Structure formats: C-alpha cells, structure tokens
Structure 1
Amino acid sequence: MTEYSRCPPRFLALVALWLTILGVACATETAPDLVLRGRLDGSDNHSYRDVPFDVPAGVNRITVQFEYSGREEHTAVDLGLKDPDGFHGQQGLRGWTGGSKRLFTVGAVDATPSFSPGPIQPGRWHLLLGIPNIRAASTSDFTAKIWFGHPGDPAWQPAVLHPALRTGPGWYRGDLHMHGAHSDGSCKSESGDARVPCPLSFTVEDAARRGLDFIALSDHNAVSQANDIRELQPYYDRLLLIPSREVTTFQGHGNLLGSSEPLDFRLGSKAVPDWNALLTQAAGLHGVFSINHPIRPNDETCMGCGWTPAQPVDMHLVQAIEAVNGMDSLSPTYSGIAFWQEQLDKGFHLTGIGGSDSHDVKLPLPAPGGSNPIGIPTTVVHAGELSMQAIVEAIRAGHVYIDTQGKPGSAFDFAATAGDRTVEMGDTLPAPRNSTVRVAIHVKGMAGAHGEIIVDGHLVKPKADLAIRDAEQSLSFDWPSDGRRHWLRANVRAADGTLLIVGNPVYLND
C-alpha cells in the first residue's frame, strides 16, 4: 500500500511571510510537492514494486529523496524511475541506481548519474523499487519526497540538491569565465600529438588545484555542461560549480551566470530582434548577466567579441561588466575598466567582475596574446556562504573585488562610514552635505604596493598616506560629502604601477 500527501501551499506561504518579517534568509528547504509512503514485508523479497505518482503539465525537473527503514535487519531496496511512454525504448526506464543513491534528479537538460536527462512528460510516472533482500519476518517503511521543477526556476532549487559547501560569511575566490569541451576549449591529447576538446573534469581539477572556491562553467551558448556538473559536484565538495554560459552573438558576448535554462541567443532574428529582447529573457532566469570583454574588436580578428549593439540597450537589464578579462588590465587597448566606469557615471550600479576566459586548462602561465590559466584574474566575492544562490546574489549586490593576478593569500576590503552606518562595496551610503565619510581599506599580502582612490571616474589624492608597507595593513581617510550623488572605489597598484586589485564602488546618496 502506498500513501500520498501534498504540502499545504497556504501554510508554506504564511511561513515564508513570517520568515521575511523576521529577517530570516529564505534559503531553507522548500517542502516537497508530493510525499509517497508505503510498507514492504517479507513477501516482497526478490521482487519489484512500482510506486505510481502523477506529474502535472509544465514540469521540467523531478527530484526524489528516498528513505526506508530496516537496514539494521539487512533490508535492501534498490531504486529506479520510469516515465509514461518508454523513453529510450526501455519500458520507460529513465534510470536505475542499484542501492547507490537516495537522492536524484532528472531534468530536461541534466540528470544525476544513473539517470537520463530529457523531456519530462506529464502523466503517470513510477518509482521502481527492487528488493534484493528483506527477511521473512521483517517490515520496511519507505518515504519518497518528490519536488517538481518548472521553467524559470532558479538553478539552486530545490535546495535539497544544492547544500552550501561552506557555511558562514566569507570572501570566496572564483573564476567566472572559462571554456572546455562543450565549446571551443582545447588541450593536448593524451599522446600529445593533437589538440582535442578538453574534458570538463580537467577544468574542474585545475580550478581545485589552484585553490579556488567556485567557478562558472561558461561555454558558448551551451548548457550541456550542466549534466557533467551533476556528476562532478558531489566529489568536488570544496569547489562550487556554477552552471553558466557565454551568450555569444554577432553584437557582443555576455555571461549568464547561475542558470541552465534555455535562452534564445539568435540576436537579430525575428524572435530576438535586439539586446533588450534577449536581456528580458535572461532577467526571468534569476541569474546575473555580465557584458564580457566589452572593448574588443568585432571583426575578423575577433568575430562578435566586442560590445557593438545595433540598437540602444536598457542597461538596467544588465547586472555586471567583465572589467578584467584575462590579463587585459595590463592593456590600455582592451581593458574593460573604462567602459565599466562609463556605466557607473551614468548612474547604473553594475558590478565589476573578472574572468580568465581560459580555453586551455593545462596552461601553467599566461600566454601573451592568448589564453590564460584558470583563476587569472580571480573574482573575490563576499557572500553569506559558499552556495550558488549566495554567490550569485552577492555578485548582483556588488560585494566583489577583482584580484587581477589571482594571488592566493592576498586580501582586500573596502568600507565607508557616515554617521552610525557602515557599508561595503556595492552598497549605498547616505551622506548629507557637510558630513564626513570615513573610508577604510584593509589589505593583506601586498607589501610595497599602494592604494589609489577613484571618485566618479577620476583619480583623487586624499590627505592620507596610502602606501602599503606591511604584510597586512589598514588604511583610512576622510572624504567630505557635498550631499550629491557620487561613486567611490579603490584600486591597489604594485610599485611598478601594475594593477593588482580592482575594487567595486560604494555609492553615495544614490
């Protein structure tokens, strides 16, 4: 016998409302859409049992968490999933775990290993239970919690699939732009005789070896890497793998971070006439959209690379700018920092981020005029925890700085105080006319460098010593407020002028 129950949506809505009122982050697990319960006994030994459930229309993901009792009596239950109409020609079998997994997901694009991704048809599905052992006098109670996903859901739902890899606030280091076998990333084959599409596992292993906390796997217009992520993430439990893609058009490139949902990238077509149509699509997917390497040629040397929209773009639909791509912070020709600052001057709160744009994960050092190793530059994010939702939301909020050299052990923090309120990078600070803004900078691992301050795109020299003499040092100065709107940020440069750190702004009176 199998029992069914559904979660009461009105009760959940009231809980969510109270959590909001109390200021509790709503990153907690949502209740399942369906709960199936049943009992096995000795007569089920060496048999299979179908446990049916109905999938409504409009579902693009099924997630199942399965538990059963009796393990102490050596009861064993294997688990599979069948769809309504024989997908893959195996009597509807979409996967079989043996006894290896108690939590799995099957989606239109990706699935837990052991299962096949593909369309989720509405209708009668079945959990398939195989019982290799249950003693004659034993019983076993099982519970299957089932979540249904829908188009447009954030990639981090249901939360049962995406636990935080590290809890608690911190500065988490990552790379937001890279390519592998799912687009044009390549490396030498095992024999070394040819360049071949580079397996995603090499990319992930390289990022882990370099000590990064997260990476966004951003192949050109592809989301097929999401299926590989399902396999790799459980093993890499210290490195967060964020599904992403580089939206590649004839009028520029941009990363959509934190989504594997379909996105029509055919800019200039009847379906996607301009960037605003494309960005409006992206806005419904809960990720972050960044304009990549905006100051690049858009010709036969780099087709479609530069930001060259044919029609005006509503920049409110953009959340970030790739201010540093690879080593272009060293180049006055290709650096995206000036483009980013132009948008800040227009009043847009756009987060400056960095990405290696790596196309060869086996590259040990930057290649002049070519690819870069993963992690150069590193985007450093102040997030509440190491989870996909927390990283994406912190990038959106601007709680970010760029370490252009990807130097492990270095650190940077920037805060501003007016009255009794202190804010960090990306935040807005009210500062009435004739008040004083106290700016505090904390640096680590950059002895011999010096800070520089940019206000509204112009380098200013406060009445303070911004030289960094120690391995760890705090700097501060006062800035008089005129009560008007400004943005203020800091860089760190080496003694030879090399840009080491690009900080995001604090916005005043905005």
Structure 2
Amino acid sequence: MGDDDQDGIEESGRGPGRRAVFVAGAATALTLGSVTFASAAGQRRQTRTVRGTLPAGSPDFVYVPVDVPAGVRELRVAYAYDRPAVPAGTAGNALDIGLFDERGTALGGRGFRGWSGGARTEFFVRADDATPGYLPGPVRAGTWSIALGPYTVAPQGLAYELTVTLEHGEPGAAPVRRYPPERARGRGRAWYRGDCHLHSWYSDGRRTPAEIAALARAAGLDFINSSDHNTHAAHPHWADEAGDDLLILLGEEITTRNGHVVALGTDPGTFVDWRYRARDNRFGEYARQIRRAGGLVVPAHPHATCVGCGWKFGFGEADAVEVWNGPFTADDEVALAAWDGLLVAAARGGREWLPAMGSSDAHRDPDVVGLPQTVVLADDLTRTAIQDGIRAGRSYLAESRDVSLAFTATGGRGLRAGIGERLRVAPDAPVTVRLEVDGAPGCVPRLVTDEGVLLTGDPLPSGGTGVLQWRTTAAYAAYVRAEVRHPATAPPLPGPPAALTNPIFLGAR
C-alpha cells in the first residue's frame, strides 16, 4: 500500500484490573496492560486502538504503557470517551490526557512530555515539533506512558478509546529554544502593572502568545507571566513577544485535585508536577522547587467552586495569594475576607503576612487580559525587581489601567509608610492615613482595619478623582488597607472593587 502502509490492530480491555494499583509516591495511580507493536520492518506507519472502562472511584491517574520500538519518527495519540446522562447534581465524565516518555512517570521525574488536560482530542510529538502543550524531542525506544486523568467519573463508568499511531523514519532536527529576556526598559523605581495568570493555546486557552502579548500592551501592562496548566511547553514561544515595553515572566499553573497554584517567574524550562493531593503531604516539596527555580508560589482563586479548585494546602508555603481572579464574583469576596483574616492573625502574632494579588486568568474571548491587574512598586522592570515588590506586598490591585491609587500613612517627625510597609509609631501617637484615587467615577472609597470597615467616603465625582483622609492610632488600628468599590448592586453586599490595596501596618513590631 506504499506510503500509507499501516498495521491497524485493535485491542480491547475492560481495565482497570489489568495490572496492580501502585502508589506513585503520592496519589494512587493505576497502570494498565501495555500497547505493543510488532516488528516495524518494511512499514512506515503502525496503529493500535485500545478500549477500556474506568469505574467510578478510579485513581486520579491511570497510565497506559506503550512499547515504542526503535526507528520511530513520530508518536501520535487520539482519544475519545463517552458522556452518558447523569442525574441532576451528579458529576459526569471528564477525562484528561498527557504523555510521559521512556524515562518514566515518577513524580517530578524527567519523563514528562506534555499535558493537554481535556483541551484536545489528539496530539503528537516528534523531534522537531509537537502539539501545543507537548515538548518536541526524539521518540526513543522504550516504554512510554499515556497518562489518563479521570477528573470526574459518572456512576455508569467512563468508557474510553485510545488510538496510538507510530510513524517510522528519520527524525527531524530539534528546534532551537530561545526564551524572553529577564529585563525590559523600565522607569527606575516606579509602579508597574502586570497580569500574572494567563492561559495560551499551549494548555486550554485559545489565544496564541502573540495575541496575548498584543492584548497585554493594549491593556497598558508592563509585565505578564505565562501560566499554562501543568506544562512548561509554552516557555520557548514567548521570546518573540517580549520587548523593551513588555517583560514576560515564565511559569506554570499547577492544577492539583486540591487547588491550583501559580508558579510566578521561574527559570526557563522549569516543570512543576501536579499529581498529588493535600493528604499526600507533597506540596511543600514542590513549593520549594518553585523557589529554587527563582519563582514565587501564589495559590490561585483559593475559594473557587469548580471541582478540585478549592485550596486545601494551607498558606504556609505561599509568597502571595490571588484574592481577585477575573471579573469579581462571590468567591473572590470570600477570598478577600479570608485573606483579611490572615492579616489579623499576622498582626496579632507579629508574624510575616501574606500579600494579595489579582490576575485575569484569561483563556479566550471575551476574557479581558488585565482585568484585574497587580500594580507593583519595583526598583526596575526586571524579573527579580517585580518579584521583590510582589513578595513585599508593595502593590495594589486595579480593574484597569485607568485606575490609580496613592495610599500612605504618616506620623510625627516625618515618619511615613506606603503600601506593604510599617509605620513604626507609639501606640497612642497620631497617625494620618491618606488615600488618593484617580479614574474611578461613581465608586466609593473606604478604609478597612483589623476591626473592619471604619471609614467610608462619598461616591467619587464624574472625574473619578478624590481623596479620603483619616486620623487614627496604632492602638486603634493594627493595619489599614483601602478599597474603592463600585456602587452596590445587591445590598447589603458591597459592589465589586475598582481597586484595593495591600495593608499598611501601624505600630512598632
């Protein structure tokens, strides 16, 4: 049959019971029987199709070994699964997919070759190219593993079909990897705007890096962070989009079954594993890996209600926390209140405190890049300077480039503190807190302390500019932070924020 010769054999399995369950150092996993290929002599293409059914209660990850012979140029996988009707309130079927090469599936190991979650029904890898979300590289002989992630399984079970195709021939040349620079042309010590939670077509987004970069520039951003789900495959594809006007940091959104966390500004090519739950006591290990790679650990949308999204690892390993994710919703209000509770605990115990961040989590139209954005006071527009500002809490969150804040606390003898700082005054010494707002017409400024909202201003005029000033003491307020809220739409709940700040702490530590 010439160039289209293929060996198309079907195998069926009622898995999972074809090989024993094992513990992969963390969450339980299951390995099924191998997909094998006969001798490739004289053939250009070989195909195998396997079928199976995963029951409700399956392990988090199911591995299908594929015995890859020598001389393979390309490995391609296509999959499908059933979606039966389920009773109201019951989760239906959702099956994620990824790939590990002959180096194995061990947690944190070198075998990772890509992950598309549920965003694609097929993918390929070869030396010179790969489907977005997967890593180009040679298809070496050995046992590869297709990783299935039964995210949710219907009561009837999850019937799946996998088709594996091997193309034989000479491998292509490996692509040259280039990464964006760690510095852009800044303005010295200044306020820089960024969006650190974005998804491209290298995971489940629908935008290319070029499209995201263009939207970031249009939104007035100075920096962004690449954070595709469970893969670092996008990292080399950002180099052409960076420029003197836009700093592009590299990272990943680690999407576990007990919450998501953004690795912010890691070294190029850093992969962080996600295959564990809170009960496995492994998150600390991977948080330390993020820091060793020069990144920050930022739990994302910690009170989101989607399956697996709620944050259950605690905040002891976090460098900041996302309290505003995309358009402000009820779960953001809960996240903001919970974070404020952490500030109270830090003030009470004199401990380090956790700064707040906001990011868009934009995936596709009509998601708005830069809604919200984190505005950081940094010494320059560099990776380390931006990270230092975020880690110190020298930042506020704004819904767009149009909104700007200036927030300070002053005491006697020229003492002054800004966002994220401490005004060191005696408990009864007078303190003046001043909030200046620009670009928020009709919004209501207010000041929040460890006791709650203690001062609310009048709605800002049509020009959107105004000042709110308050006199207090460190004995009365352990810290003060500012919010600028849109008018309430469902009283007594406040309206969504146009901006909010990290705190200024008052008093000697």
Aligned to 1:388: 383
In 1: Cα distance, 2:176 partner to 2:291 partner: 29
- Paired residues of 1:295 and 1:334 also in contact (CA < 8 A): no
Per-residue CA deviations over 1:326-358 (Å, capped at 9, x if unaligned) read 11x342676421221122222141111111111
Residue 165 of structure 1 pairs with residue 182 of structure 2? no
Aligned to 1:286: 294
- Go from structure 1 to structure 2 and tell me whether the alpha carbon gap of 1:180 and 1:499 turns closer, same or farther (over 3 Å shift): same
Aligned partner of residue 336 in structure 1, secondary structure = helix
- Paired residues of 2:255 and 2:274 also in contact (CA < 8 A): yes
Aligned to 1:424: 418
In 1: Cα distance, 2:299 partner to 2:377 partner: 21
- Go from structure 1 to structure 2 and tell me whether the alpha carbon gap of 1:335 and 1:378 turns closer, same or farther (over 3 Å shift): farther
- The 5 Å alignment of 1:8-157 reads 116-117=176-177
Aligned to 1:244: 251
- Paired residues of 2:253 and 2:261 also in contact (CA < 8 A): yes
In 2: Cα distance, 1:426 partner to 1:269 partner: 30
Q: How far does residue 179 in structure 1 lie from its aligned partner after superposition?
A: 0.6
Q: How far does residue 485 in structure 1 lie from its aligned partner after superposition?
A: 7.9
Q: How far does residue 223 in structure 1 lie from its aligned partner after superposition?
A: 1.8
Residue 308 of structure 1 pairs with residue 312 of structure 2? yes
- Paired residues of 1:175 and 1:356 also in contact (CA < 8 A): yes
Aligned to 1:503: 501
In 1: Cα distance, 2:341 partner to 2:427 partner: 25
In 2: Cα distance, 1:208 partner to 1:295 partner: 30
- Give the letter aligned to residue 337 of structure 2: A
Aligned to 1:323: 323
Aligned partner of residue 251 in structure 2, secondary structure = strand
Aligned to 1:216: 225
Unpaired segments of 5 or more residues in structure 2?
Answer: 1-136, 139-173, 347-351, 489-494
Aligned length: 325
Aligned to 1:402: 397
In 2: Cα distance, 1:293 partner to 1:230 partner: 28
Aligned to 2:338: 339
- Paired residues of 1:341 and 1:457 also in contact (CA < 8 A): no
- Give the letter aligned to residue 189 of structure 2: P
- Paired residues of 1:181 and 1:199 also in contact (CA < 8 A): yes
Aligned to 2:483: 491
Aligned partner of residue 266 in structure 2, secondary structure = coil
Identity over aligned pairs, percent: 28
In 2: Cα distance, 1:422 partner to 1:244 partner: 35
- Go from structure 1 to structure 2 and tell me whether the alpha carbon gap of 1:247 and 1:178 turns closer, same or farther (over 3 Å shift): same
Aligned partner of residue 416 in structure 1, secondary structure = strand
In 2: Cα distance, 1:474 partner to 1:205 partner: 34
Aligned to 1:358: 362
- Give the letter aligned to residue 257 of structure 1: L
- Go from structure 1 to structure 2 and tell me whether the alpha carbon gap of 1:332 and 1:307 turns closer, same or farther (over 3 Å shift): closer
Per-residue CA deviations over 1:259-294 (Å, capped at 9, x if unaligned) read 042333332499x73322322322323322111111
- Give the letter aligned to residue 408 of structure 2: A
Unpaired segments of 5 or more residues in structure 1?
Answer: 1-86, 89-113, 119-154, 187-197, 364-371
In 2: Cα distance, 1:379 partner to 1:167 partner: 17
Aligned to 2:405: 412
Aligned to 2:37: none
Task: Choose the corresponding residue for 2:205, options 175, 179, 185.
Answer: 185
- Paired residues of 2:184 and 2:245 also in contact (CA < 8 A): no
- Paired residues of 2:182 and 2:248 also in contact (CA < 8 A): no
In 2: Cα distance, 1:374 partner to 1:254 partner: 19
Q: How far does residue 251 in structure 1 lie from its aligned partner after superposition?
A: 1.1
Aligned partner of residue 479 in structure 1, secondary structure = strand
Q: CA RMSD in A?
A: 3.0
Aligned partner of residue 198 in structure 2, secondary structure = coil
- Give the letter aligned to residue 393 of structure 2: G
In 2: Cα distance, 1:269 partner to 1:338 partner: 23
- Go from structure 1 to structure 2 and tell me whether the alpha carbon gap of 1:202 and 1:287 turns closer, same or farther (over 3 Å shift): same
- Paired residues of 1:294 and 1:339 also in contact (CA < 8 A): no
- Go from structure 1 to structure 2 and tell me whether the alpha carbon gap of 1:334 and 1:448 turns closer, same or farther (over 3 Å shift): closer
In 1: Cα distance, 2:464 partner to 2:332 partner: 32
In 2: Cα distance, 1:409 partner to 1:330 partner: 21
In 2: Cα distance, 1:501 partner to 1:495 partner: 13
